Each structure stands twice: as structure tokens, then as C-alpha cells.
Amino acid sequence: MPRPGSSPGDLRESDGLPVPRRYWAIAAIVLAIAMSVLDSSIANVALPTIARELRTPSATSIWVVNAYQIAILVSLLPLASLGEVVGYRRISQAGLAVFTLASLACALAPSMLALVVARVLQGFGAAGIMSVNAALVRFTYPHRLLGRAVGINAVAVATAAAVGPTVAAAVLAVARWRWLFAVNVPLGVVTFLIAIYALPVTERSRRPFNSRVAALHAGAFGLLMSGLQALAHSSSTPLALAQLCVGGVLGLFLVRDQLDRDAPLIPFDLLRIKVFSLSIATSVCSFMGQMAALVALPFEIERLGHGPVATGLLMTPWPVAIAIAAPIAGRLADRFPAAILGAAGLAAMSCGLLLLALYPRGASDADFIWRMALCGAGFGLFQSPNNRTMILAAPRARSGAAGGMLGTARLLGQTSGAAAVAILLHAFPERGSNLALLAAAALALAAALVSATRLAAKPAVASL
């Protein structure tokens, strides 16, 4: 078998990679995306310990999380666009290398400033992985099996997002906080070696990369997200509002510049495809609901009288149910409309969240567990078909932009959902977590309704 790089023209598969290289490629793709998504939440549990050991205020330690998320958001779409120009495998491999080296820097950081800088670099690496993740899946599996591949990928993304706090608690029970980052190093090296061998080589766009627009995008998204985070965590309100205003102005300039271009950085060409834009809206609403619930649930479980260990155990059914439902949904997505599967799954998730919000004090743990499992199964039923629809709605040459929007929708939803819970907990200290669950149920229901409207949208036929 020829090795990647030896004869690129021979390796550009018209409909997926051959076996067994296909399996090695999906292994590298899944390991990389799981690590990058897991690190979005794995540090949350350790923030008090990190602040204490590095002798910084608790409020400052929040930037260990914020720096990573903002770095991803400001670079995700530019890197997706760059991937179309230089090749998806190059962006993924470069992102994985930066992520692994930055993880080592995080583990060795001597101060809070050094840790935050390392987290910014780690976020840029994660953005490289996330930006081309969906495009690589599309070029790895044949069209007839794409739903199955998307299901496998969705399990990795959803499970990693859900189990971050649980994994962090397990690591902290036996090791120092630095191991939360150090564990990425051997995994990253192994994944990088697999990626060099297995990832597909794809055709590249001949258009130049617009660095000016990428900088404008970074400024707009960076200011909007940092302002939202500052507002959510009760930092200086005037400064937060100023960041939001300046970010909004830069965003308007960005939209005016990109709106009529053939292959814009913000893919307005894809957003004009109705089924794609509806799928993006569904994704944003659903991830807002999921993240709001996952942030609020530990507080709600504690309010109901459970300790930290019980909290971790009671959170487990959600990711377990996702891991079971997502592959099944991926197979179903090859046969049934994503509009129906997504609406059914999100309606189930909404019901589960409503039942969790109404869960009475003193009820059995079994009643809580099946409600959590219903939420996870509903989310798992939605995600794979929705992702498949977004990927296939885009022309093959715009797979990078579609994948970038897929990741951006997820992160926008997660960031907004977490910020909304922070605001509710600050405004309503006693009932904020319960109100957050009700809001999450409403968001999931809204996402179900948006998903259902895709039945009336004309399906996009992308070039394969």
C-alpha cells in the first residue's frame, strides 16, 4: 500500500478510503476530536485547586477555561477556510501537533499567566482539529456509509463534552491537576503518527487565503465572546458592554465584506441553502440546551441533597445513553430524514429536561437516572442525522466550510448556554439551577420545532 505523501494523486479517493486504512483514519479523527472537545470542560473541576496552587484569585482562574474556548472560536472558521486551500489533513496534523505541545506546556506551567498563554495555544491547536473534522469524515467513508461514520464521530464529540467533569474528578482523585493536560501528550503523539499514515489527501481550492478577513473575524468573535463571558461572570459591566459593542461593529464590517463573495470565510453561500441554515439553527439551540443542563445539573443535584460522588454517578446516564443512541441514529440517518429523527430526539430531550426540573425532593435515584438517560438518548438520536445533513448539504469543495460551521454552531451553543446559566445562578442563587433546566427544556423544544421545519425545505443535492 502506498504511503500518504508518496503519490498524492493516487490517494485522492472519489468515494472514501479503502479498508483497513479507513479504520485507521477514523481512529485518528475520533481520538483527535475527543481530546480537543474533552479539554473544553476538563479543567472546570480543577479551577479552585489551580488557583490555590498558582496563588491567584478564583476569578482569574476562570481564564483557564475562557482562553481555550475563545481561541477556538476566533480561529475555527479561518482554519476551515485555510483547510480548503492547503488541504484538510495538513490543518488537522498541524492542529494536533500544536495541541499536543501546548498540552505539555500547560502541564509544566509555572504561573497562571503561563498557563493561560498555553491554553490559548492549545485552543488554536484544537481549532485546527475541529475545523476540518467533518470534512475528513466525509472523505474517509463512502457516501453510502456516511451516516454510520458521522454516528461514530458524534459519539466521540457528545460523550467527550458530557464526561469532562467526571474524567477530571477521576484524575484529580489520584493525581495532581497537571495530569489533566499531561495525559494528552502520549495520546497526541500516537494519534499524530496514525494521522500521518491514514488521513485522506484531498483536492485543494486554488483561491488565496484572505488573512485580512481572518483577522477581522478573530477580532469580532474574540470581543463578542470575551464580553459575554465577562458579563456572565459579573466582571466589569461597562468593559463587558464595550467589548460587545466593538465586537458587534467589527462583525457588521465582516458581514458586509463577506456577504457577496463566492467562497466567504463565514459561509454565507452555504447559509443560503435552507436545509443547511435550519440544521445550523437546530444545532445552536440544542447545544445551548445541552450545555445549560450539564452546567446546571450538578448544582441541582446538590440542591436535592446529594454529595459530590453521588453527583458524578447521577450525571453518568446522560453520556452513556448518547454513546448507545448516536451510532444507531447514524445508521438510521442513511434511511430516514434528519428532520424527523432530530425532531423526535430533541422532543424526547425536552421532555427529559422538564421532568428533571420537576423532579421532587426525596424521590428515588432510579427516577432521576431514567430521566437523565432519556435526555442523553434524545440528544444522541438528534446529533448524528443533523451532522450528516449539514455535511451533505454542502458541495464537496466546501466541506471545510461546512465542518467549520458545524463546530462553530456547537461552540456558540455551548458557550452561550454556559453563560446563560452563570447569569441565572447569579440572579437567582436559590433557584437558578432549576430555572436553567426549564430554560434548557424550552431550548430543546425550540430546536425540535426548527428541525421539523426541514421537512418542508427542498433537500440540497451536493456534489459527491
CATH-assigned architecture of domain 266-464? Up-down Bundle (1.20)
Is residue 16 helix, strand or coil? strand
pTM of the model: 0.79
| Ranges 9-18, 74-83, 183-192: which has the least confidence | 9-18
pLDDT band at 59, cuts 50/70/90?
low
Cα(199)–Cα(216) distance, integer angstroms = 31
CATH-assigned architecture of domain 10-207? Up-down Bundle (1.20)
Contact by Cβ (8 Å): 405, 76? no
Fold matches, 10-207 and 266-464: yes
pLDDT band at 100, cuts 50/70/90?
very high
Q: What is the mean pLDDT of residues 85-107?
A: 95
Q: What is the mean pLDDT of residues 433-449?
A: 93
Which tens digit of pLDDT belongs to each residue from 109-145?
Answer: 999 999 999 999 999 999 999 999 988 998 998 888 8
* Cis, peptide link before residue 20, omega less than 30° from 0: yes
Q: What is the mean pLDDT of residues 93-108?
A: 96
Residue 443 has pLDDT above 90, yes or no: yes
Cα(252)–Cα(262) distance, integer angstroms = 19
Q: What is the mean pLDDT of residues 363-380?
A: 91
410 or 12, which is more confident: 410
Q: What is the pLDDT of residue 377?
A: 94
| Ranges 82-86, 125-129, 308-312, 441-445: which has the least confidence | 308-312
Residue 422 has pLDDT above 80, yes or no: no
Separation in Å, CA 63 to CA 54, 173, 223, 410: 13, 23, 14, 20
Residue 164 has pLDDT above 80, yes or no: no
pLDDT band at 361, cuts 50/70/90?
confident
What's the whole-number average pLDDT of the chain? 84
Domain boundaries in the chain?
A: 10-207, 211-262, 266-464
